[in-house]
Structure 1
Amino acid sequence: MPRSLQKPSRLPGQFWIVWTATLVNRAGGFVGIFLTIYLTTERGFSESVAGLVLGLYGLGGAIGVTAAGHLTDRWGRRPTVLLAMGSASALMVCLGLAHSRPAIMVGALALGMAAEGARPPLGAMIADLVPATDRGRAFSVYFWAINLGFATAAVLAGFAAGSGYLTLFLADAATTAAAAILIAVKIRETRPALVEHHQEQRSGLRTLARDRVFLGFVACNLLVALVMLQHMAMLPLAMIGDGLAPRTFGIVIALNGVLIVLGQPLVTRLLANRREALVAPVSAAVIGVGFGLTALAHTPVWYGATVLLWTTGEMLNAPSTAALLAGLSPVDMRGRYQGAYSLSWQAASFLAPTLGGTVRDLAGNTALWLGCLGLALVAAAWSLLAAPARERRVAAVTAAAERQHELAKI
């Protein structure tokens, strides 16, 4: 039956447990939102050193997602995510108590390893639990939960910071621990039985390294991520530079989550019969225009308008990209493919504040935001040209997964 005529099925109950745990975790994600401001105002770090600390978090994340991707396939989804979330909760408290510059740098690196290490197993869980025909809808709903949590955290963090920044670290640690407990109690292991498991494990890295379609997909995502992560790295500094208060930044950036919370259900219906490979280039272009127009922003209203524009692109990008990732990933390598994809975000977590801070210092805000526009347009053009090859690969991987499933039942 053509995809456009298929009736959507009910998403599995186990998916909704993952969804709820993610919502709980993200609703307490205070530290990431205010980390730049915390480092520059509370700890007296310069903008360049604060950017370095964020970069170290990204470097730790790169290590974490790579290791977690392997553990997800070899050890299992559930134990990997519990290890990552449990460690992140403890390290969040340690970072909040750290005062010296070396301790904060080491803490940021370790926290990045643990917190970001949850990404590959969670993504693999959803790919395991949800049939291919429903993954676009599932990832759209999942993205909605992430941003409902983000919107909640952005609003609450601005007020919680008034009682001391340590409160943000402790609350973040508590919600991360709560999410881990929910998964431990309610989620079973989702890793499917594999055909010729040991042979596939030995050849896994070589297979990934030769997958040019997937590597191109990851490279495009890196360009988009370099742009998107400026909203956490340089946008707060740009707003403070215009004389706006930290609380104003919290309210403006909360528009991102609010728009997604209100608009993502509509976008989910809009994208139901669309080809993910063609949605990706459109979303990258919209994101680029939104960040490019930040060069003209100096008031809360202007900043808010740019946030609403690039958020529209984000709402299109996140579910379509996640569905493409699941479709491009062989069933027995989902963890490593998720890890490799997440690695692009972690590389951007290191490069975005580092490059953004350097460009802003040397060339100013206008060059920074116009550079973001340029990177996003390159990603959009690349994704458009690669769309046919990506769709062919998704079809081939889906057919191979169905054959493996049938063989596993024999």
Structure 2
Amino acid sequence: MSAAATLTAPWRGLSRAVWILVVARAVNRIGAFTLPFLGVVLTVEFGASLGETGLILAVFGVATIPSRLLGGQLADRLGRRRTIVLGLTGCAVAQLWIALSSTLWSAVLAAILLGLAFEIYEPPSQATIADVTDPSDRPAAYGLLGAAMAAAGVLAGLLAAAVSHWDLRWLFVADALSCLACAVLVALALPADVRREHVPATAVAVWRDRRLVLLLISGTVFATIYMQLVIGVPLTLLEQGLPESGTGFILAVSAITLILAQRLLRVRRLDDFRSIAVGYILLGAGLVVCAFAQTLTVFLLAAVLWSVGDLFLLTRYLTQASGLAPDHARGRYLAVFGLSWGIATAIAPLTVTQLLETAGPEGLWLSSAAVAVVLAALQPWFRRRLAPAAP
């Protein structure tokens, strides 16, 4: 078997629509490393204090919550393809606005608009993958999306490291262009939306599904830890007196690790709950290393550990959420579960800035590691609670 065949073996037989969507999202990801730098731009370019930066990023996070719900509603009613294109176009407009802003208030308004558009394309993207794959193939399909995003992230991280020496605003221009390129590819290549004449009104039933609500709570805790890494690592580097460009290298190493580990680790042989438990243990180990890191080399080691943990976590949470959903409400189920990221994006800036000010990097990352270990220990309990109800 050739090297290429060996590498792609886990993803053989996946639908053409999955591959088209994966390529489109990878194009988008190449320029989409702006969020980790948004706090730095607000601080360095616009003179915001650490507290103001945390508040602005929290408002951005709050704005992503209705964005995600809107994406789920539109995905089930307007169609997957149309919703993806709409969300990407909105993100491009907001990114260009940030890049062209000359005052802090203009940047704040643009950040709010970005939050309102930021999550629209996620539910239809995730629902499209679930629509065209069998349940047993969904971990591989979501894994393919993650691997492609990571591969694009290698280029994106290097781009971020290079551009950060010049002007951080160019990152937002690059992201806007990649959003538009992704929108064009989706509009031209993804299969046309299927008209749904009668869509059951299940919005209330979605929230009555106690398993989904429990999964949302668990996912929110994980997403908060994840977003603390996204937002907190660049600020931690500043606290340690390390160069801003180090964030780009850390992100690139994280992406490379995710690609390599996906093939080396036989993730599909673990069920969802064991996979999640292993992921939290590895994530916690990376956070402990991050707590005591004072050089870029040690931060890179931490990134390897938490990235292998992410391999076990990200795809399994999506597989669980899509498995709970009926076909006609899949977009809304995934949107509700995806609220975990909006809530986390609102919480993480506040926890990061407050803990950095009061407890320093050690307090921030050790407390996060403790939460990860607790979640690993709770997976047998989650297994019982999320089991399908007896007929």
TM-score (norm. length: structure 2): 0.92
Q: Please, which moves more after superposition, 62-71 or 378-387?
A: 378-387
Q: Which residue of 2 aligns with 1:248?
A: 246
CA shift digits 1:158-189 (9 cap, x unpaired):
21233323322211111110000000001124
Q: Which residue of 2 aligns with 1:403?
A: none
Q: 1:139-288 residue pairs with structure 2 within 5 A?
A: 139-189=142-192, 197-198=198-199, 200-201=200-201, 204-267=202-265, 270-288=266-284
- Offset at 1:115? 2.2
| Amino acid corresponding to residue 133 of structure 1 in structure 2 | S
Q: Is the 8 A contact 1:55 1:353 kept in 2?
A: yes
Q: Is the 8 A contact 2:42 2:104 kept in 1?
A: no
- Offset at 1:340? 0.9
Which of the numbers 54, 57, 68 marks the counterpart of 1:54?
Answer: 57
Return the alpha-carbon distance in structure 1 between the equivalents of residues 195 and 12 of structure 2: 21
Q: 1:262-341 residue pairs with structure 2 within 5 A?
A: 262-267=260-265, 270-341=266-337
Confirm or deny that 1:127 pairs with 2:130: yes
| Amino acid corresponding to residue 225 of structure 2 in structure 1 | V
- Percent of pairs with identical residues: 27
| Amino acid corresponding to residue 364 of structure 2 in structure 1 | L
| Amino acid corresponding to residue 41 of structure 2 in structure 1 | Y
Q: Is the 8 A contact 1:128 1:190 kept in 2?
A: no
Aligned to 2:164, the other structure's residue is in SS state: helix
Q: Is the 8 A contact 2:11 2:141 kept in 1?
A: no
| Amino acid corresponding to residue 185 of structure 1 in structure 2 | L
- Offset at 1:227? 1.0
Q: Is the 8 A contact 2:142 2:318 kept in 1?
A: yes
Confirm or deny that 1:20 pairs with 2:18: no
Q: Which residue of 2 aligns with 1:401?
A: none
Return the alpha-carbon distance in structure 2 between the equivalents of residues 248 and 166 of structure 1: 17
Which of the numbers 355, 360, 363 marks the counterpart of 1:359?
Answer: 355
Return the alpha-carbon distance in structure 2 between the equivalents of residues 292 and 227 of structure 1: 13
Q: Which residue of 2 aligns with 1:379?
A: 375
Return the alpha-carbon distance in structure 1 between the equivalents of residues 130 and 195 of structure 2: 11
Q: Please, which moves more after superposition, 286-295 or 85-94?
A: 286-295
Runs of 4+ with deviation above 6 angstroms: none
| Amino acid corresponding to residue 380 of structure 1 in structure 2 | A
- Offset at 1:84? 0.5
Q: Please, which moves more after superposition, 300-309 or 44-53?
A: 44-53
- Offset at 1:37? 1.8
Confirm or deny that 1:347 pairs with 2:343: yes
Q: Which residue of 2 aligns with 1:110?
A: 113
Q: Is the 8 A contact 1:95 1:104 kept in 2?
A: yes
- Offset at 1:8? 7.6
CA shift digits 1:202-226 (9 cap, x unpaired):
xx12212221111111111111111
Aligned to 1:162, the other structure's residue is in SS state: coil
Return the alpha-carbon distance in structure 1 between the equivalents of residues 172 and 270 of structure 2: 41
CA shift digits 1:381-401 (9 cap, x unpaired):
3333111443436x98xxxxx
In the superposition, relative to structure 1, how do residues 8 and 32 fare at CA in structure 2: closer, same or farther (>3 Å)? closer
Q: Which residue of 1 aligns with 2:6?
A: none
Confirm or deny that 1:70 pairs with 2:62: no
Q: Is the 8 A contact 1:65 1:342 kept in 2?
A: yes
| Amino acid corresponding to residue 42 of structure 2 in structure 1 | L
Return the alpha-carbon distance in structure 1 between the equivalents of residues 167 and 356 of structure 2: 29
CA shift digits 1:286-341 (9 cap, x unpaired):
21232133221111121111111111110111111121121112211111111111
| Amino acid corresponding to residue 347 of structure 2 in structure 1 | L
Q: Is the 8 A contact 1:288 1:310 kept in 2?
A: yes
- Offset at 1:144? 0.6
In the superposition, relative to structure 1, how do residues 133 and 24 fare at CA in structure 2: closer, same or farther (>3 Å)? same
CA shift digits 1:92-131 (9 cap, x unpaired):
1011111322221121111012122111110111111112
Q: Is the 8 A contact 1:22 1:146 kept in 2?
A: yes
Q: Which residue of 1 aligns with 2:88?
A: 85
Return the alpha-carbon distance in structure 2 between the equivalents of residues 146 and 106 of structure 1: 28
| Amino acid corresponding to residue 40 of structure 2 in structure 1 | I
Return the alpha-carbon distance in structure 1 between the equivalents of residues 276 and 185 of structure 2: 33
Return the alpha-carbon distance in structure 2 between the equivalents of residues 191 and 277 of structure 1: 34
Q: Is the 8 A contact 1:294 1:369 kept in 2?
A: yes
Aligned to 1:234, the other structure's residue is in SS state: helix
Q: Which residue of 2 aligns with 1:97?
A: 100
Q: Which residue of 2 aligns with 1:402?
A: none
Q: Is the 8 A contact 2:153 2:251 kept in 1?
A: no
Return the alpha-carbon distance in structure 2 between the equivalents of residues 327 and 190 of structure 1: 22
| Amino acid corresponding to residue 332 of structure 2 in structure 1 | R
Q: Is the 8 A contact 1:51 1:233 kept in 2?
A: no
CA shift digits 1:211-245 (9 cap, x unpaired):
11111111111111111112221111111211110
Return the alpha-carbon distance in structure 2 between the equivalents of residues 378 and 65 of structure 1: 28
- Offset at 1:248? 2.0
Q: Is the 8 A contact 1:281 1:384 kept in 2?
A: no
In the superposition, relative to structure 1, how do residues 255 and 351 fare at CA in structure 2: closer, same or farther (>3 Å)? same
Return the alpha-carbon distance in structure 2 between the equivalents of residues 368 and 24 of structure 1: 33
- Give unpaired runs (5+ residues) of structure 1: 1-6, 397-410
